[in-house]
Amino acid sequence: MSFDFDLIIIGAGVGGHGAALHAVESGLKTAIVEGAEMGGTCINRGCIPSKALLAASGRLRELQHSSELGIQVGSLQVNRGAIANHAAQVVEKIRADMTRSLEKLGVTILRGRGKLVAPQQVEVQGEKGSHTYTAQDVILATGSRPFVPPGIEVDGRTVFTSDEAVRLEWVPERLAIIGSGYIGQEFADIYTALGSQVILIEALETLMPAFDPDIARLAQRVLIKPRSIQTFVGVLAQQVIPGQPVTIHLSNGETLQVDGCLVAAGRIPVSEGLGLAELGIDTGKRGFIPVDSRMATDLPHLWAIGDVTGKMMLAHAAAAQGRVAVENICGRTAYMDYLSIPAAVFTHPEMGFVGLTEPQAKEEGYSVGTVRTYFGGNSKAIASGETEGMVKLVFDKSTGLLLGSHILGAHAADLIHEAAQAIARRATVRELVGLVHVHPTLAETLEEAYKRAAHALAGT
């Protein structure tokens, strides 16, 4: 049977884009279907605009603390509109670069909503009608959207999600943020730097429940307590009514009135309308498309990658999954190794994580050892006045295997890669002790941590 394409990818987010580039490199005739803006969540409403806003909040914080280094600055003026424009321009540039890179490589861009109408057949419903294309293989990369819990009404202006927050159309004086995960933390950093009073509402019993507990505790001390942030923990925002003011009814019986409310309560997959049920694929209650570690679904020649799989909802994970799917499509068996994929929160200071947290490692039955080193003892951190921070290593006491690394401190999002590489090659802390780091650098906090871990092993 001959096909229109070797590969059709539905969804041109970071996952679809990564898969398309690797497919073309591998010699596959490739098409990508996109029903909205090219670039998906990360480029248009996620990583990119949020990091442009965080660049502004970070610079503001640096300038506010520059007197520690002997630099006095006059009064700081914040131009909200200019900050928002900077973010919008960055988005535009990166979206255009991404689209051009696909076109240049010869990827066919099909504009419209894609749907599977039969195995290996994709119908694209565009502005000018629909057309069905055939492909040897199909990758679903349709991403995710914000989850809005029941009882919360979003009007997009006074009650909004990250989709609107990245546009920074206004800065509420009193802002409630529902959810204390990484999106909630990043926006708390942005809005408090711009002068908002933030009220963080977390339904679970601890703030930042997915983080290693030591990092979550330190983050509270460094990122929450010194800032204009009030917290509610173990409390559900049961009803949120938009307006001026926004009214929030909490499960503890209290009622809050605020100027704005950002709903950052997680994300849900975009898997409806793809024709999956008709092809016998069950996405369960939560809607994620089930895949194995090769990114294969239960249907031959159908693959899924990125947020829609719910495996690790991060841009670089989506791109890595795209690469793995294409490798398997080309007959070269490849598997995802989620343990070594790092994650970061771009607050000031940053947080970076890879591998297992201490509770996860215990749950998996390891004989868990941990060590901590502190930025307060690091020469570079002291010289630059960035002494708030910690590196925590989680390792297996019986083998010395590095299981996880959790960092809060300046440049943690960059520092974490060293530990990620070590976990990728399943290194032991004894092997890592031999690594020499430039002096003075923040990376020496990791070197010190490896030494402490190896020392702890020697004593067991």
Q: Which of residues 23-42 bind ligand FAD (CB under 6 A)?
A: 33-36, 40-42
The DSSP code sequence of 385-434 is T----EEEEEEETTT-BEEEEEEEETTHHHHHHHHHHHHHTT-BHHHHTT
Contact present, 235 and 203 (Cβ < 8 Å): yes
Closest to ligand FAD by CB, 314 or 432: 314
Q: How far is the CB of 187 from ligand FAD (least distance, A)?
A: 8
Closest to ligand FAD by CB, 171 or 381: 171
Q: Which of 65, 131, 439, 455 is catalytic?
A: 439
Distance CA(32)–CA(20), nearest Å, equals 7
Task: State yes or no: residue 342 binds ligand FAD (CB under 6 A).
Answer: no
Closest to ligand FAD by CB, 18 or 369: 18
Phi and psi angles of residue 101, each rounded to the nearest 5 degrees, phi first = -65, -35
Closest to ligand FAD by CB, 40 or 242: 40
The DSSP 8-state label assigned to residue 294 in this structure reads T
Q: How far is the CB of 276 from ligand FAD (least distance, A)?
A: 11
The DSSP 8-state label assigned to residue 317 in this structure reads H
The DSSP 8-state label assigned to residue 458 in this structure reads H
**455 tagged catalytic:** no
Task: State yes or no: residue 181 binds ligand FAD (CB under 6 A).
Answer: no
Task: State yes or no: residue 314 binds ligand FAD (CB under 6 A).
Answer: yes
Residue ranges with strand state E in 172-310:
174-178, 197-202, 229-233, 237-241, 246-250, 255-258, 260-263, 267-269, 302-304
Q: How far is the CB of 362 from ligand FAD (least distance, A)?
A: 27
Closest to ligand FAD by CB, 28 or 124: 124
Distance CA(176)–CA(194), nearest Å, equals 15
Q: How far is the CB of 129 from ligand FAD (least distance, A)?
A: 15
Sequence-distant (6+) residues with CB within 8 A of 250 are: 201, 232, 235, 236, 237, 238, 256
The DSSP 8-state label assigned to residue 338 in this structure reads G
Q: How far is the CB of 3 from ligand FAD (least distance, A)?
A: 19
Task: State yes or no: residue 162 binds ligand FAD (CB under 6 A).
Answer: yes
Residue with tokens 């709903």: 263
Q: Using CB under 6 A, pick the residue from 7, 8, 16, 391 that binds ligand FAD.
A: 16
Q: How far is the CB of 313 from ligand FAD (least distance, A)?
A: 5
Distance CA(19)–CA(315), nearest Å, equals 12
The DSSP 8-state label assigned to residue 349 in this structure reads S
Choices 7-15, 73-81, 287-295, 404-412; region in contact with ligand FAD by CB under 6 A: 7-15
Task: State yes or no: residue 142 binds ligand FAD (CB under 6 A).
Answer: yes
Q: Which residues bind ligand FAD (CB under 6 A)?
A: 10-16, 33-36, 40-42, 45-47, 50, 113-114, 141-144, 162, 183, 270, 274, 306-307, 313-316, 318, 346
Which residues are marked as active site? 439
